[in-house]
């Protein structure tokens, strides 16, 4: 079973997809509270992690800009779908990736401090 977070019309949903030989519809859970985020190990901010592998299609705010909780900060493209990645908290964004970069699951996309 693989879990993904997708965004549809600004709402996030956690989706579980079972890997089997047969085709099955994915189970959709209630909207997710926020994208993957963890307090930074150095205590200087909250890490925003990639929920799945993809391409950084666009950075929606300038590096060093103030952001609000749930504000979209970048677009992560996966399987030809654009996914808004939002800030998990208020603070200043410090991007750890550049537009056009390919990232893996759990890669640090930004630190909100």
Count helices and strands in the chain by DSSP H and E runs = 0, 12
Is 67 or 19 the better-scoring residue by pLDDT?
Answer: 67
Q: How does the average pLDDT of the chain come out, rounded?
A: 82
What pairs with residue 86 in β-bridges? 72
Q: CA 87 to CA 46: how far, in whole Å? A: 9
Q: Domain of 82: which CATH number?
A: 2.40.50.100
Nearest to 106 by CA among 55, 29, 58, 51: 51
Mean pLDDT of 42-63: 91
Task: Name the burial class of residue 109, with classes exposed (0-12), middle (13-18) and buried (19+) by CB atoms within 10 angstroms of its CB.
Answer: buried
3-12, 41-50, 95-104 — which is least confidently predicted?
3-12
Q: Which residue has the higher pLDDT, 14 or 39?
A: 14
Range of the domain at 33: 2-112
| Domain count of the fold of the chain | 1
> What's the average model confidence in pLDDT over 57-64?
96
């Amino acid at each position: 079973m693989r879990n993904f977070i997708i965004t549809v019309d600004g709402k996030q949903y956690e989706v579980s997809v079972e890997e089997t030989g047969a085709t099955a519809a994915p189970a959709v859970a209630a909207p997710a509270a926020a994208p993957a985020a963890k307090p930074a190990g150095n205590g200087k901010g909250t890490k925003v992690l990639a929920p799945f592998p993809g391409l950084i299609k666009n950075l929606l705010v300038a590096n060093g800009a103030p952001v609000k909780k749930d504000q979209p900060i970048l677009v992560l493209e996966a399987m030809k779908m654009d996914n808004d990645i939002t800030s998990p908290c208020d603070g200043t964004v410090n991007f750890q990736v550049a537009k056009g970069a390919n990232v893996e699951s759990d890669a640090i996309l930004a630190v909100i401090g």
